[in-house]
Structure 1
Amino acid sequence: MIKTAFITGAASGIGRALAENLANSGVALYLTDVNEAGLKDVQKDLQDRQVNVQIGVLDVSDRAAFEDHAKRAVETIGDIDIVFNNAGVSLSDMVHTGSYEDYHWLMDINFWGVVHGTKAFLDDMLARKTGHIVNISSVFGLVGVPSQSAYCAAKHAVKGFNESLYYELIGTGVQVHSVHPGGIDTNIVVNGRQKQNLSGKVSTDDVQENFKPQAITTPAKAAETIMNGVRKGEYKILIGPDARALDRMSRWFPKLWQKLFYKRATKDIQRAS
């Protein structure tokens, strides 16, 4: 039974939706984000649910800070039954123009943040022989797409990390869940760094305009899908019809997928020019 939860990236998007979903079930929450104002807003909204909601400003790339918040979470809401390593950022740029600084920035958050969040709670869960670790990858952790090399690399890394952890946890009572969202209606583009794609230099508004039609799943639906998967003990959780279709296409017809995606990318370039 899940009584306590730790969520990163909880000020908006999937993280906030998970907090709302769990609060409805009476789960005590420790919510983190770099956005303090957003966290306070979530905490205020959840006050009427009559659950213990603690918040903490956290940059998940900071290992020491993560470990401090993990200890504080246990002190304020009790042993953590489930951790959601959800915090993430986006970056649009080409490999040949992308800066090392941007690559490190994204990897430190999207990959190392997951590692920090997993290891901060894993020893305690193993000792108690119970717990859930929910690590957010992406459909871009299943395939690669142009101008998203850093993001795809990080999400593929999370996928591989999860697969290794899955086998290590067999028989321990602790479960890892690898989550692969498709297009979710969140602020990840707005809060990211958008610089260049196949058609040339882009602005955040350009990328957001292209992303919006693809963001076909609401955060609330994403949270519901994740929690249903957790309750069923599912390892791989695909969110949205686009994620399910892409997963099948890339596995069953990899060459056809590459051709179809290339055609779509070419059309996008022609439309932008």
Structure 2
Amino acid sequence: MGKRRTTISGRTAVITGAASGIGRALAQRLAAHDCPVAIADVDEHGLKETEASLRGPTLLRVLDVRDAAAQHDFADQVRQWAPQPLGAVFNNAGVTVGSRVLNAAPEDDQWVWDINFGGVVNGTRAFLPILLEQNDGVIVNTSSVFGLVGMPGQSAYCSSKFAVRGFTDALRQELRGTGVRAVTVHPGGVDTNIVRNARYREDPTGRGRTQQQVADDFAAITMTKPDKAAEIIHRGVEAGKSRILVGPDARIFDLLGRVAPTRYYDVLKWIESYQRRRSSS
């Protein structure tokens, strides 16, 4: 099935996780491209800050994506409000927790699964009927590079993002023959607040770092800013891509997962060790 270009600029867009990070950047970019935007997040303060940064028609909804009934109510609200046909739904809300499988807190893992995967499922099921009635539009679900490879200390996050990938791939095949598409987004390291907002009990690497130190270390290695991520996603959706890799590190992870599916972590550790030796020489 070849690429089918889709114009979402100028059409209504729905974005969850819009209080910060990629979600906020998407809202800003799409609003600048004449999209009425319906933004949702559990963080009301951050959501209002996003709203204040936008131009054009905006619908704000404080929303816990885990609540399926609330998602359906939001879809009904968007249907009534939208000044333009619905072009794209970005199921983008996400959280993380760092822990090893052996000592993980089950309630933390469930929190991650319910938001990262359950939220995507709820959002898809709520808005897909609108898109199918139009026979047009795009469901855009945010996975991760950790939906391409598994990493130690990230079992809950990886499993949720692999689930998003599998769910969206299956949906894509179900939508064959319709005017609706399903897209998976795999961001690499993007400079967002996801680590600062994580549930944190201890450093999963065993190095005793505080949550702030882990967040600072993450920020130091990120390769993509949210506005650049939003640009890549927007352009990728309109170019008809079914899978969008965000950032140069995403391409590296994708390649390693293909050529060294059981040894990619060894390769990554070797690269890290090599870089440390170079920087200290």
Q: With structure 2 as the length reference, what TM-score do the two structures score? A: 0.90
Distance 2:159 2:118 in 1: 12
> Structure 2 residue aligned with 1:143, among 149, 152, 155?
149
> Could you tell me the percent identity over the aligned residues?
47
- Residues 1-273 of structure 1: matches in 2 within 5 Å? 1-2=7-8, 3-46=11-54, 49=55, 51-78=56-83, 79-194=85-200, 195-199=202-206, 201-263=208-270
Distance 1:200 1:151 in 2: 20
State the Cα distance separating 1:174 from its structure 2 match.
0.3
Amino acid of the residue matched to residue 74 of structure 1?
A: R
What is the SS of the residue equivalent to 1:230? helix
State the Cα distance separating 1:265 from its structure 2 match.
8.1
Single out whichever of 26-35 and 72-81 deviates more from structure 2: 72-81
Distance 2:44 2:63 in 1: 9
Q: Contact (CA 8 Å) 1:80, 1:121: kept in 2 or not?
A: no
Q: Contact (CA 8 Å) 2:41, 2:47: kept in 1 or not?
A: yes
What is the SS of the residue equivalent to 1:7? strand
Distance 2:207 2:121 in 1: 34
State the Cα distance separating 1:80 from its structure 2 match.
2.4
What is the SS of the residue equivalent to 1:116? helix
Q: Any stretches of 5+ residues in structure 2 without a counterpart?
A: 1-6, 275-281
What is the SS of the residue equivalent to 1:177? strand
State the Cα distance separating 1:266 from its structure 2 match.
8.7
Q: Any stretches of 5+ residues in structure 1 without a counterpart?
A: 268-273
Distance 1:117 1:232 in 2: 23
Runs of 4+ in 1 over 4 A off after TM superposition: 262-267
State the Cα distance separating 1:91 from its structure 2 match.
0.4
Deviations 1:139-198 (A, max 9, x none): 000000011000000000001011101111111010111000000000000111123313
Q: Contact (CA 8 Å) 2:151, 2:265: kept in 1 or not?
A: no
Partner of 1:271: none
Distance 2:154 2:99 in 1: 6
Partner of 1:270: none
Single out whichever of 60-69 and 180-189 deviates more from structure 2: 60-69
Question: Alpha carbon RMSD of aligned pairs, Å?
Answer: 1.8
Q: Contact (CA 8 Å) 2:151, 2:158: kept in 1 or not?
A: yes
Partner of 2:279: none
State the Cα distance separating 1:127 from its structure 2 match.
2.0
What is the SS of the residue equivalent to 2:218? helix
Q: Contact (CA 8 Å) 1:225, 1:239: kept in 2 or not?
A: yes
Distance 1:104 1:184 in 2: 24
State the Cα distance separating 1:45 from its structure 2 match.
1.6
Distance 1:70 1:37 in 2: 22
State the Cα distance separating 1:69 from its structure 2 match.
1.1
